[in-house]
């Protein structure tokens, strides 16, 4: 799907030849003398269109426009959330109508966050996953024009958002794939494909390489599966080598049965999404290839399956991490922190300016924050504030969680340096405290995306979060230098 940004108002939009003309109408709308403006004013006055978003009005071949369908959608005060709600509802209402070309026109000057919301919503509403379908019915929408009278002021935001869409959809694509079509090896191959783009390099380490590095925690998780582990190292070189990189670490458990501490059967199929952190890192690198910001980024993906077999790690086993710290594995379903801790230690060699890990880590974070905000933990106040702000700007929101030292008490054990779980209470926080033990040599943040990486039920599928948040953070870092 191709997006373009056009400088035009309602008069020019009425002449656009397209399948659907979507007009976003704010509550402050004042009708001008042109036919389309007068029509909008009439339907507002009659009450057939509400300024409150979510209830679009569709007209078939109205004489006032050249589009086959005209959709009028109220956007309230024009805030990003209002625009997103309106666009999602509008696209859903015409999605099955042979929709190939759409013009989305703001009935007045548009704000940057409103344009960002419109682009993201169109992409989200029209996305179609087809991999594995014998008779795929893909996305029909091929071209979308975003129209506003102040388009020149919105160019930078628009281009960034279009790149974000590419990254989000790549993350969705890999997270949505069945586990047998997204093995550690296949995930590593997807990362290698990114190296075809300028400024990106990729290295993939196998079991022997990881063993030489002493990644005992990572290897323990992988040992129950016949699929060999892969450790992916992506590099984006956007500026001088002397500039310290930002390291993104994505949890890549391509299927999580829970191991010996096996999960309940209901919804276990959704554990194919347990590599959503890794998918988000791949998505970010896809967007970096398009935007080419002046920042250095390293992506680390420890990828493996967590299965139960005669070789699987057992509750009570003690392993030695790459850092040299010993870990008692009390619950094999707390495997994400085990693969991440070795990746975090590996990150030290890059002498990073910051390290951010992204993981579908705990059900406790879902209980705490639901599916609205990702959990944000940070050992550095400035880094935490930057990520929180990036989430608000990108509309990929998160919430700051505590890291008080008292939460680490539950991780004490008589048989190793640390246990991998600390009880049910504050589970998302104790998981973060476990990871923090391996981050003393750099500025660190942790994003728990267990509640936001995918949706269940009738809308089951990956969301592509937090690609938008991470990309916004990286771009702000690039511009601050």
- pLDDT average, residue stretch 29-50: 92
User: Confidence class of residue 412 from pLDDT cuts 50, 70 and 90?
Assistant: very high
What's the confidence (pLDDT) of residue 39? 95
Q: Given pLDDT bands bounded at 50, 70 and 90, which one contains residue 327?
A: very high
Do residues 42 and 173 both lie within one domain?
no
Residues 105 and 146 in one domain: yes
The active-site residue, picked from 166, 337, 373, 433, is 337
Q: How far apart are CA 94 and CA 195, in angstroms?
A: 38
| 101 falls within a domain | yes
Question: Per the residue annotation, which of 263, 292, 400, 455 is the catalytic one?
Answer: 263
More confident residue, 206 or 137: 206
Tell me, what CATH number does 136's domain have? Answer: 3.40.220.10
Q: Which of 93, 126, 151 is the last residue of a domain?
A: 151
Phi-psi region of 54 (alpha: psi -120 to 50; beta: other; left: phi over 0): left
148-175 mean pLDDT: 97
Note whether 137 and 244 are same-domain residues: no
Does 301 share its domain with 243? yes
- Is 69 annotated in the active site? no
Examine the domain organization and report whether 203 and 98 are in the same domain.
no
**In this predicted structure, what is the pLDDT of residue 1?**
87
CA distance 191 to 248: 14
Query: Do both 381 and 271 map to the same domain?
Result: yes
Distance between CA 260 and CA 238 in Å, rounded?
44
Q: Yes or no: say if 387 and 473 are a contact pair by the CB < 8 Å rule.
A: yes
Q: What is the pLDDT of residues 263-319, one digit of tens each?
A: 999 999 999 999 999 999 999 999 999 999 999 999 999 999 999 999 999 999 999
**Based on the domain organization, do 465 and 335 belong to the same domain?**
yes
Taking 90 as the threshold, does the pLDDT of residue 427 lie above it? yes
**Average pLDDT over every residue of 450-471:** 97
Q: How far is CA 159 from CA 130, 152, 229, 406, in A?
A: 26, 12, 36, 45
Asked whether residue 158 is assigned to any structural domain, the reply reads no
Q: What is the pLDDT of residues 334-348, one digit of tens each?
A: 999 999 999 999 999
**In-domain check, residue 159:** no
**What's the rounded mean pLDDT across residues 375-401?**
98
- 454 plus 330 within the same structural domain: yes
Question: From the centroid of its chain, how far is CA 386?
Answer: 17
The arrangement of strands across the sheet holding 69-74 comes to 2-7, 143-148, 101-106, 20-25, 69-74, 57-60
Q: Are residues 141 and 226 in the same domain?
A: no
Using 50, 70 and 90 to split pLDDT, how confident is the model at 481? low
- Asked if residue 42 has pLDDT above 80, the reply is yes
Report d(CA 169, CA 467) in Å as an integer.
10
CA dihedral defined by 192, 156, 125, 84, rounded to 10 degrees? Answer: 140
Q: Is 286 a catalytic site residue?
A: no
Whole-prediction pTM: 0.96
Residue 299 near residue 172, CB atoms below 8 Å: no
Task: Please give the pLDDT value at position 137.
Answer: 82
pLDDT at residue 136 is higher than 90: no
Determine which of 139-143, 250-254, 408-412 has the lowest per-residue pLDDT on average. 139-143
Average pLDDT, the chain: 96
Residue 255's domain is classified under what CATH number? Answer: 3.40.630.10
**Nearest-angstrom CA–CA distance, 148 and 54:** 21
Evaluate whether residue 9 is within a structural domain. yes
Is residue 297 in some structural domain? yes
Share of the chain above pLDDT 90, in %: 94
- Looking at the DSSP bridge assignments, the partners of residue 304 are 253
| Number of domains composing the chain | 2
**Structural domain boundaries, residue 438:** 166-480
The last residue of one of the domains, among 95, 126, 151, is: 151
Query: What's the rounded mean pLDDT across residues 145-174?
Result: 97
The answer, yes or no, to whether residue 133 has pLDDT greater than 90, is no
- Assigned domain for 160 exists: no
**Does any domain span residue 161?**
no
In a shared domain, residues 71 and 136? yes
Domain boundary among 117, 151, 185: 151
- Beta bridge pairs of residue 23: 72, 105
The size of the chain, in residues, is 481
Q: What is the mean pLDDT of residues 128-148?
A: 91
Q: Quick one: what percent of the chain has pLDDT higher than 70?
A: 100
* 140 and 175 fall within a common domain: no
Helix (H) or strand (E) holding 105: strand 101-106
121 and 146 together in one domain: yes
Residue 72 within a domain: yes
């Amino acid at each position: 799907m191709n997006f373009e940004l056009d400088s035009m108002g309602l008069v020019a939009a009425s002449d656009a030849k397209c399948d659907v003309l979507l007009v976003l109408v704010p509550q402050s709308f004042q009708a001008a003398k042109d036919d389309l403006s007068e029509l909008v004013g009439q339907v507002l006055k009659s009450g057939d269109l509400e300024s409150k978003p979510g209830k679009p009005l569709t007209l078939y071949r109205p004489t006032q426009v050249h589009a086959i369908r005209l959709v009028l959608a109220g956007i309230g005060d024009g805030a990003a959330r209002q625009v997103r709600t309106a666009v999602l509802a509008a696209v859903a209402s015409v999605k099955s109508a042979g929709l190939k070309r759409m013009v989305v026109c703001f009935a007045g000057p548009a704000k940057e966050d409103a344009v960002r919301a419109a682009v993201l919503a169109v992409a989200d509403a029209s996305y179609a996953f087809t991999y594995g379908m014998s008779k795929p019915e893909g996305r029909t929408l091929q071209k979308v024009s975003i129209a506003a009278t102040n388009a020149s002021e919105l160019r930078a935001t628009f281009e960034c958002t279009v790149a974000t869409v590419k990254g989000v959809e790549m993350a969705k694509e890999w997270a949505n794939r069945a586990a047998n079509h997204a093995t550690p090896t296949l995930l590593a191959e997807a990362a290698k494909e990114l190296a075809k783009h300028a400024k990106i390099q990729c290295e993939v380490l196998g079991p022997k390489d990881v063993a030489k590095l002493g990644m005992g925690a990572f290897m323990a998780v992988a040992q129950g599966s016949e699929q060999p582990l892969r450790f992916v190292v992506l590099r984006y070189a956007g500026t001088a080598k002397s500039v310290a990189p930002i390291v993104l670490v994505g949890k890549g458990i391509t299927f999580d049965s829970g191991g010996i501490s096996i999960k309940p059967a209901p919804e276990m199929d959704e554990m194919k999404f347990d590599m959503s952190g890794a998918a988000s890192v791949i998505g970010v690198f896809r967007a970096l290839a398009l935007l080419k910001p002046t920042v250095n980024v390293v992506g680390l993906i420890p990828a493996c399956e967590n299965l139960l077999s005669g070789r699987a790690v057992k509750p009570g086993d003690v392993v030695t991490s790459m850092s040299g710290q010993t870990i008692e594995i009390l619950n094999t379903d707390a495997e994400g922190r085990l693969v991440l801790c070795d990746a975090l230690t590996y990150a030290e060699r890059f002498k990073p300016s910051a390290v951010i890990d992204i993981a579908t880590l705990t059900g406790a974070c879902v209980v705490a924050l639901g599916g609205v905000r990702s959990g944000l933990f940070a050992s550095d106040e400035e880094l935490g504030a930057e990520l929180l702000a990036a989430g608000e700007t990108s509309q990929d929101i998160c919430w700051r969680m505590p890291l008080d030292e008292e939460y680490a008490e539950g991780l004490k054990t008589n048989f190793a340096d640390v246990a991998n779980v600390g009880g049910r209470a504050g589970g998302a926080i104790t998981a973060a405290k476990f990871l923090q033990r391996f981050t003393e040599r750099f500025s660190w943040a942790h994003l728990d995306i267990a509640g936001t990486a995918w949706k269940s039920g009738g809308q089951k599928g990956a969301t592509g979060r937090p690609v938008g948040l991470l990309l916004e953070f990286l771009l702000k870092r690039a511009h601050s230098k």
